[in-house]
Amino acid sequence: MDRHGLSWSGTSLHGTARARSVSIPNLPGFWEGCDAGHDETVAQNADETRACEQSPRVAQWTAMAALIPRPPVDLPPGAVQLPGWLSLAEQRRLVRACREWAAPPAGMRATRLPSGGVMSVRTVCLGWHWVPYHYSRSVDDGDGVPVKEFPDWLGELARRAVAEAYDDPDAGAAYQPDIALVNFYDAKARMGMHQDRDERSLAPVVSLSLGDTCVFRFGNTEHRQRPWTDVELESGDLFVFGGPSRLAFHGVPRTLPGTGPDIGMSQGRLNITVRESGLRQD
């Protein structure tokens, strides 16, 4: 575990510790799904959406979710959870987009930390590339190519998220995100308690969950120890933290394999976190 509390494994998936960043071309569950290889990440496809939403697994998952409402979670000021904020169709489109972003060049990789460890989650960046512990316009710890662009439609989705989380249209309109970090968690991956403090802007962080449920540990702004609150984030959930909670320590101690709906990935969890960099646009 490094100074930010990020978890890692001692060796790469290829059994070598030479490279600073490890390319992950094949992630079990992530590349599997009824629409694998689909490259229209935001196109409206009514027939596909209708077929997937009527599948037996989705119908069962939807019925169970409706019968067992989740109790509200007591969170500190500035932190908001909106369960089931994304529709199944929106989740599927985001999975397709993540699959496209994950492909090289500037693709998904396991980040090597200055301590020498390798993070157990795999990450692809949009807009600005995160290298511990700063941002760059190129994949400096990988293939060296320019980072993938941050899409306008994702910024619009994040603005809507802020507006609805805080019930404040002006806050949503003022939000100008230009970074997304997309993390893939397999059944063994986790994230230690850390702060998102490498941005120069303290605008809210928008977190979207896809696939398997995780335990999201949301702590205090002073240290990694208690008090904290454990929140189960299910596929489609929105979590926003800003204001007095913007620099709260947070992490993912575990995921719950096999709990995700049928959204085009057979296993694992995707987490898209959107932020404002506060950095100058060149």
**pLDDT for 138-149, tens place per residue?**
999 999 999 999
Check residue 84 and report its DSSP letter: T
The residue with greater pLDDT, 125 or 66, is 125
The residue with greater pLDDT, 51 or 211, is 211
- Report the distance separating Cα 57 and Cα 257, nearest Å: 15
- pLDDT for the residue 27: 72
Alpha helices in 73-201, H assignment, sequence order: 88-102, 152-165, 169-174
Which of 47-61, 72-86, 171-185 comes out lowest in average pLDDT?
47-61
Give the pLDDT band (50/70/90) at residue 246. very high
- Average pLDDT, whole number, for the chain? 84
User: What is the reported pTM?
Assistant: 0.81
**Domains delineated in the chain:** 8-68+91-275 (2.60.120.590)
Q: Which two tokens stand for residue 140?
A: 């400096």
- pLDDT for the residue 20: 36
Average pLDDT over residues 242-270: 97
Percent of the chain scoring above 70 in pLDDT:
77
- Report the distance separating Cα 189 and Cα 267, nearest Å: 13
Task: For residue 164, give Cα distances in angstroms to 45, 85, 117, 145, 159.
Answer: 26, 10, 38, 36, 9
pLDDT tens-digit series, residues 11-50:
222 222 223 333 444 576 776 653 433 333 333 333 433 4
Before 105, cis peptide (omega within 30)? Answer: yes
Give the pLDDT band (50/70/90) at residue 57. low
- Report the distance separating Cα 268 and Cα 240, nearest Å: 22
The residue with greater pLDDT, 274 or 3, is 274
Which of 31-45, 112-126, 211-225, 256-270 comes out lowest in average pLDDT?
31-45
- pLDDT for the residue 4: 36
